[in-house]
């Protein structure tokens, strides 16, 4: 195997003829030397938790996790904030999901809310005194999990795993984080001071 320096490959004038004959029915005869831009129909790039202290409206912690170019390219983690909470405080939280590979960014959490009966977000704290309660409901009265109430316990550090599941026809009062297909699965670092 040796890299070729000259452009020896003949062009394919006949290709055009076959394209005209309609032998290339769907995508048409794309130019081989001009590969398509990554055109993933829908990706999540960014997961954002925005909180407000229920007792102090000036205490607004937030944290963002962002992957560079969506899913499937060995995405490098571009932003990985730590969520900082106050011991003993309770917060109203909103989960915002974005596709920042589109311009302007798509607010994917709006789409999730619209199809709430097929989606649910699950929260799993680990190594830290944190409880999460659902604060929203879909059309069939099951939680979606975009809006939650977070209660911080004693000081410490740990993680909060956030999982968005697509559960078409599967979501029920017995469905769990193991049900359906995973759209998002990330872990935030959390510190309670």
Partner 1 sequence: MKWLLWTLVALAPLRVTAETSPKKWAESLVDNPAPTDSLSDSATVDPVLDMADQTVMSQHSRHAPVTSQSESSLQGKALDRRRGLSLGDAMQAMPGVTVVHTGSTLAKPAIRGLNGNRIVILNNGVRQEGQQWGSEHAPEVDPYLASKLTVIQGASSVRYGADALGGVVLVEPWPLRTEPGIGGEIHLAGFSNNREGDASATVEGAPTWFPNGAWRLQGTLKKGGDASTPNYGLNNTGIEEINQSAALGWQKPRLGFDLFYSRFQTKLGIFSGSHIGSVSDLEAAMQRGRPEGISNFSYDIGRPYQDVTHQFAKAHAYLVTPMQGKVNFAYALQNNVRAEYDHRPLNDALAARNLPELEFEIMTHTADLTWDFHPQEEYDAALGMTGMSQINTYSGRPFIPNFLNYNGGAFATLLKHGRQFDLEGGLRYDTKFLRTYAREKGVIVTSAFEFDNTSAMLGGIWRFTEGTTGKLHFSTAFRPPGVNELFSAGLHHGAAAVEYGDPDLQPERAYDGTLALQAKRNRWSSELTVYRTYIRDFIYLSPEFPPTLTIRGAFPTFRYHQADASMWGGDAALRFTFLRQGGDWDYIGQASLLRARNEATGGYLILMPADRFVNGVEWTLPQWKGLTDLHLGANVQTVLKQTHAPADSLDYAPAPPGYSLVGLTAGFQWPLGEKASVQIELEAENVLNDVYRDYTNRFRYYAEDKGRNFALRLKIPLDLPKASGSD
Strands 82-85 and 181-192: parallel
35 lines the binding site for partner 1 (CB under 8 A): yes
Among residues 16, 20, 55, 77, which is the contact residue for partner 1, using CB under 8 A? 77
The residues near 138 (Cβ < 8 Å, ≥ 6 apart) are 116, 117, 144, 171
**With respect to partner 1, which residue has the nearer C-beta, 90 or 175?**
175
Dist CA 136 CA 86 (whole Å): 24
For 17, the token pair is 């003829």
Shortest approach of partner 1 to residue 158 CB, angstroms?
18
Give the one residue of 52, 59, 71, 153 binding partner 1; rule: CB under 8 A. Answer: 71
Report the C-alpha gap between 119 and 75 in whole angstroms.
24
Give the footprint of partner 1 on this chain (CB under 8 A).
1-5, 8-10, 12, 14-15, 18, 23-27, 29-45, 47, 65, 67, 70-75, 77, 106, 108, 111-112, 114-115, 163, 166, 168-170, 178-186
């Amino acid at each position: 195997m040796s890299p070729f320096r000259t452009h020896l490959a003949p062009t394919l004038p006949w290709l055009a003829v076959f394209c005209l004959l309609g032998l290339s029915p769907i995508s048409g005869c794309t130019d081989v030397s001009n590969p398509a831009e990554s055109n993933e129909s829908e990706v999540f790039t960014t997961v954002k938790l925005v909180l407000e202290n229920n007792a102090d409206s000036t205490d607004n912690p937030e944290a963002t996790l962002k992957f560079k170019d969506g899913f499937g390219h060995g995405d490098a983690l571009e932003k990985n904030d730590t969520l900082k909470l106050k011991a003993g405080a309770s917060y109203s939280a909103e989960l915002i999901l974005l596709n920042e590979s589109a311009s302007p960014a798509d607010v994917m959490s709006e789409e999730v809310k619209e199809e709430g009966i097929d989606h649910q977000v699950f929260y799993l704290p680990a190594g830290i005194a944190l409880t999460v309660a659902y604060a929203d409901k879909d059309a069939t009265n099951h939680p979606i999990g975009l809006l939650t109430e977070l209660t911080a316990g004693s000081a410490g550090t740990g993680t909060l795993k956030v999982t968005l599941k697509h559960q078409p026809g599967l979501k029920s009062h017995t469905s769990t984080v193991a049900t359906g297909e995973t759209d998002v699965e990330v872990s935030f670092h959390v510190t309670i001071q």
